């Protein structure tokens, strides 16, 4: 059996009637844990990095992220995000209310 992964650490920076802005910090190998976004959101990587995304059907994909190159995702997908890299990684997540 595999050892449990460390948990990514979220820090909410803004939470108001329009957005929630959270910085996520990942040690190497850390994961968010399974979750589902109830809102559309934008992710802004703070550095180059590699994340693995697991989905409930058992598949996973790897994303090579570039610092400050944002991407958008729609609400609804259940997933687990893992820092696949050998160094710490962080991104800012902006959920649109």
Domain boundaries, the chain: 9-96
Mean pLDDT along residues 68-85: 95
Cα separation of 14 and 45, whole Å? 17
Architecture of the domain made up of 9-96: Sandwich (2.60)
Two structure tokens written together for 79: 């997933």
Asked whether the beta carbons of 71 and 14 are under 8 A apart, the reply is no
Is a pLDDT exceeding 80 seen at residue 3? no
pTM for this model (two decimals):
0.92
């Amino acid at each position: 059996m595999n050892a449990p992964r460390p948990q990514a650490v979220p820090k909410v920076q803004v939470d108001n009637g329009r957005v929630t802005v959270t910085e996520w910090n990942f040690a190497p190998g850390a994961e968010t844990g399974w979750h589902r976004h109830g809102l559309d959101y934008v992710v802004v990587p703070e550095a180059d990095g590699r994340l693995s995304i697991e989905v409930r059907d058992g598949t996973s994909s790897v994303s090579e992220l570039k610092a400050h190159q944002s991407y958008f995702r729609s609400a609804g997908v259940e997933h687990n995000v893992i820092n696949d890299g050998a160094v710490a990684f962080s991104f800012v997540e902006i959920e649109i209310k």
